[in-house]
């Protein structure tokens, strides 16, 4: 066997130079700027998401609500037990900005649960 040609890593570390303080400052500044940009872009995405939920049509609203009802175990039949006027009313409140989509879903699920309790 031949001896290893490379020197141990310990000796190499002593040859490394520390970066200049300006480089460290620039790196910190770049990181801070990147964090600010990420915060701004996530805020704009949230606004876009809120805007898209407001512009949802009644048909798409019903489809999305149906998915939630199925996930909760009530199924599409449970959604059909809700009065149509209640879904329209909640959709209208969401469109004008009184409710977020999550609040609208919560309202409809709560209405469904109350109707089930009254019917039992």
Q: For 22-34, what is each residue's pLDDT tens digit?
A: 666 777 777 777 7
113: closest CA among 54, 73, 56?
A: 73
Per-residue DSSP letter, 100: -
8 pLDDT more than 90: no
The Cβ-side half-sphere exposure at 42, using a 13 Å CA radius, reads 6
13 located within any domain:
no
Spatial separation of the C-alpha atoms in residues 114 and 120, rounded to whole Å = 10
30 located within any domain:
yes
Residue 79 sits in the same domain as residue 98: yes
Average pLDDT over residues 5-15: 58
Confidence bin at 37 (pLDDT 50/70/90): confident
Residue 45 sits in the same domain as residue 34: yes
Q: Give the distance from CA 109 to its chain's centroid.
A: 21
Using one digit for the tens of pLDDT, what is the confidence trace for 81-115?
889 899 899 999 999 999 999 999 999 999 999 98
Q: Which domain holds residue 102?
A: 56-119
- Three-state DSSP class for 66? helix
pLDDT confidence of residue 2: 60
The residue ranking higher by pLDDT, 23 or 70, is: 70
5 pLDDT more than 50: yes
- Three-state DSSP class for 99? coil
As a whole number, the mean pLDDT across the chain is: 77
Residue 111 sits in the same domain as residue 60: yes
Residue 113 sits in the same domain as residue 84: yes
pLDDT confidence of residue 80: 87
1 pLDDT more than 70: no
7 located within any domain:
no
Residue 65 sits in the same domain as residue 107: yes
| Count of domains forming the chain | 2
Residue 32 sits in the same domain as residue 69: no
94: closest CA among 46, 62, 118?
A: 62
8 located within any domain:
no
Residue 62 sits in the same domain as residue 114: yes
pLDDT confidence of residue 24: 67
pLDDT confidence of residue 74: 87
- Three-state DSSP class for 82? coil
Virtual torsion, Cα 95, 89, 64, 118, nearest 10 deg: 150
């Amino acid at each position: 066997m031949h001896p290893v040609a490379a020197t141990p890593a310990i000796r190499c570390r002593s040859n490394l130079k520390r970066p200049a303080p300006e480089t460290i400052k620039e790196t910190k500044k770049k990181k801070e700027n990147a964090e600010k940009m990420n915060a701004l872009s996530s805020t704009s995405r949230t606004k876009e998401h809120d805007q898209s939920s407001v512009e949802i049509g009644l048909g798409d609203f019903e489809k999305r609500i149906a998915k939630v009802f199925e996930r909760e175990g009530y199924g599409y039949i449970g959604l059909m037990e809700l009065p149509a006027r209640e879904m329209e009313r909640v959709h209208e409140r969401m469109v004008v900005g009184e409710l977020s989509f999550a609040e609208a879903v919560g309202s409809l699920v709560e209405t469904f649960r109350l109707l089930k309790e009254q019917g039992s």
